[in-house]
Amino acid sequence: MGQRPKVRMASMELVSPTHENCSAMWINVIPSALKADDAAQLKAKFNFPPEQHFYVPQEAYDTYAQISKRGAALEAEWNTRLAAYGEKYPNQHAELVRRIEGKLPEDWERALPVYKPTDPAVASRKLSEIVLTAISPVLPELLGGSADLTGSNLTKVKGSVDFQPPSTGLGDYSGKYIRYGVREHGMGAIANGLHAYGGIIPFVATFLVSVKAVPFHFAKITHPIEFCVICCWCC
């Protein structure tokens, strides 16, 4: 892989020549930017060109260029293997590519239940259960669960299998229902990872909405266009 570029970081005691006292650093540097002469002296101390802004050493460019080349080679190898898989298993290949590209099955929306304004009021968690039950058969990439509130959230579709080690006797690795435990934040982070990996539509549920919202806000920043995690609001 080659040697990684050196990353030069100032310690708290060496923030700038005029702020070498740690207490002074916290008082003066954290809430406000360094002055121009302080910044120049700090750069010089660590052998960076003091007159340049946003300076990145050439060795960093060279290292990432190598990573880019390696990634391109791995992608080419993957595309070759995927094409060979398509020749041998055309149906499975088409389904896999559909999921990777984020396309929904044709006419999937026909499975959705239909309601009228005159229909009687129904709790949102019950409506969520009805919708999940209706779309799960036509959206095989749908995978998710609840943070320790399955019985209250009504998120487990009848007949679904838990994603569990077979040795537990509670499910197997073909299962698409995840019992997250009391881990709302972790559940949100896992859902982000499932979506980022691709080919999966995650869904999550809990009553502690604010806890799981944090990782979702982060996901919207990193993937503002294609972010898609279904949240079952339970009221």
Describe the strand order of the beta sheet including 177-179 as a list of residue ranges: 171-172, 162-163, 177-179, 142-146, 201-206, 230-233
Domains in the chain, ordered, with CATH?
A: 108-233 (3.40.50.970)
Model-wide pTM > 0.75: no
Separation between Cα atoms, residue 190 and residue 214, nearest integer Å: 12
Longest C-alpha distance within the chain, in Å? 74
The answer to whether 184 is a known catalytic residue is: yes
Model pLDDT for residues 155-186, shown as the tens digit of each residue: 998 889 999 999 999 999 999 999 998 888 88
Residue in 95, 109, 141, 184 annotated catalytic? 184
Model pLDDT for residues 101-124, shown as the tens digit of each residue: 989 999 999 999 999 999 999 988
